[in-house]
Amino acid sequence: MAHAPLLAERARAQDARAVARLISMVEREDGSRLPELKALHQWTGRAHVIGITGPPGAGKSTLTDKLVAELRGRGRTVGVVAIDPSSPFTGGAILGDRIRMNRHATDEGVFIRSLATRGHLGGLSRATAETVRVLDAAGYQDIIIETVGVGQSEVDVVRLADTIVLVSVPGLGDDIQAIKAGVMEIGDVFCVNKADKDGAERVIREIRAMLETAVLNGAATRFSELYGALAAMGLGPDAKAGPGPGAGEASFAGAAAADEDAAGGYFQAGAAHHIANQARGHDELALPPVLATVAETGQGIKELVDAIKAHEAGLAATGLLAKRRVENLAWELGKAAADRILSGLEADERRGYLRAQAEAVLGKKTDFYDALEAIAQSLRAGS
């Protein structure tokens, strides 16, 4: 049904009911959301999107609660998208992230929405990207995506978040080893929560060792790209003078000037590394911050927000923010296009066509590759 984008207008005024309704329409992929989201489009792209990810039980929800409080204290409005898994058997879900953060439910500057994965893999729900856009357009300045508890490969959050906080925790034993190769590579800011527990120092050392190794191996990581860009601008741990020659030409130059000081904070947050690095004889290494927090008591939260905001400033100063958003949206468009093609293939009449092709392959009337080519051509001709 076509109608004027009334919900969009109300959402722009941060009407919580309208925002909530829009997110529900997104979740059930309701076609009538399209005029609303189109109307909101011009207001998107302004929020700082922060991903909080890590294994189950790391304290992501409690940490998110404290981040919300700290950001509110700095005068920011905050949206939270908290994702929990759906049962693959019943489709039901218990969304419990609010237990830790419902004290913000009466704060009009905070909007929290729990999403179930509804069968989607990768640590997010399908609706996450559009939900973030709704909150962004509604004017929430910082948007926190809290992923499901992740294992090794649930890294979809890299496609949505500007800044990713990877939360680890002592006491998982070999789990720290297990996640090293997967999600450990996506962090911009590393946080060892429950740092008052035994073994926290060891986890911090292990993460630093892993990051050092990545740098020494020349691995292309999210943080190495940023450090490289900052160094090219004359910013960074070894910067002696002001911005380098290229800085003035950056498309983000205006914003960059204001952000340069803040960007340095990303290095300061990682300063402890340089001491450790010098002791090990490679003082040139620039590593992202690894911070110790005790979310329960609020210890280290201020420093964590400082590091998150410094990272954002660094992205803005170097122009990487804009570059990554282009890459991420291109990825999302590609995926959405593939989904649309797939849903075309899954339509009943297509199923019959696919079965006919399969029979032809099995009957040796054609081969797999010719059948595939025929299907691809029919898609191009048909839609």
Partner 1 sequence: MERKIRVLVAKPGLDGHDRGAKVIARALRDAGMEVIYTGLRQTPEQIVGAAIQEDVDVVAMSILSGAHNHLFPRVVDLLKEKGVDDVLVIGGGVIPDDDIPGLKAAGIAEVFTPGTPTSVTIDYIKQNLKRKA
Q: Can you tell me which of 4, 13, 99, 181 binds partner 1, judged by CB under 8 A?
A: 99
- Site for partner 1 (CB under 8 A): how many residues? 32
Is 72 among the residues that bind partner 1 (CB under 8 A)? no
Q: Are 287 and 297 in contact (CB under 8 A)?
A: no
Stretch binding partner 1 (CB under 8 A), from 2-10, 84-92, 145-153, 272-280 = 84-92
CA angle in degrees (0–180, nearest 5) for 235-238-239:
40
Q: Are 160 and 124 in contact (CB under 8 A)?
A: yes
Is 252 among the residues that bind partner 1 (CB under 8 A)? no
Question: Which of 329, 325, 326, 305 is CA-nearest to residue 165?
Answer: 305
Tokens of 291: 């911070």
Is 92 among the residues that bind partner 1 (CB under 8 A)? yes
Q: Can you tell me which of 5, 7, 11, 21 binds partner 1, judged by CB under 8 A?
A: 21
**Element holding 53 (H helix, E strand):** strand 48-53
Q: Which is nearer to partner 1, 82 or 161 (CB)?
A: 82
Is 24 among the residues that bind partner 1 (CB under 8 A)? yes
Is 140 among the residues that bind partner 1 (CB under 8 A)? no
Q: Can you tell me which of 7, 8, 11, 19 binds partner 1, judged by CB under 8 A?
A: 19
Measured between alpha carbons, how far is 364 from 341 in angstroms, rounded to an integer?
27
Q: Can you tell me which of 32, 102, 153, 297 binds partner 1, judged by CB under 8 A?
A: 102
Is 42 among the residues that bind partner 1 (CB under 8 A)? no
Measured between alpha carbons, how far is 27 from 11 in angstroms, rounded to an integer?
17
Measured between alpha carbons, how far is 231 from 311 in angstroms, rounded to an integer?
14
Could you give phi then psi for residue 84, rounded to 5 degrees?
A: -130, 155
Q: Dihedral of CA 156/161/166/167: which sign?
A: negative
Measured between alpha carbons, how far is 296 from 65 in angstroms, rounded to an integer?
10
Q: Are strands 142-146 and 163-168 parallel, antiparallel or unpaired?
A: unpaired
Is 28 among the residues that bind partner 1 (CB under 8 A)? yes
> In DSSP terms, which residues pair with 191 in a beta bridge?
167, 291
Q: Can you tell me which of 90, 241, 254, 380 binds partner 1, judged by CB under 8 A?
A: 90
Q: Are 233 and 247 in contact (CB under 8 A)?
A: yes
Mask for 103-122, x = binds partner 1 (CB under 8 A)? x-xx----xxxx-x-x----
Q: Which is nearer to partner 1, 23 or 150 (CB)?
A: 23
Stretch binding partner 1 (CB under 8 A), from 11-19, 198-206, 272-280, 314-322 = 11-19
Closest distance to partner 1 from the beta carbon of 263 (Å): 34
Q: Can you tell me which of 35, 44, 45, 95 binds partner 1, judged by CB under 8 A?
A: 95
Question: Which of 153, 134, 123 is CA-nearest to residue 36?
Answer: 134
Is 342 among the residues that bind partner 1 (CB under 8 A)? no
Name the residues that contact partner 1, by CB under 8 A.
Answer: 16-17, 19-21, 23-24, 27-29, 86-87, 90-96, 98-100, 102-103, 105-106, 111-114, 116, 118
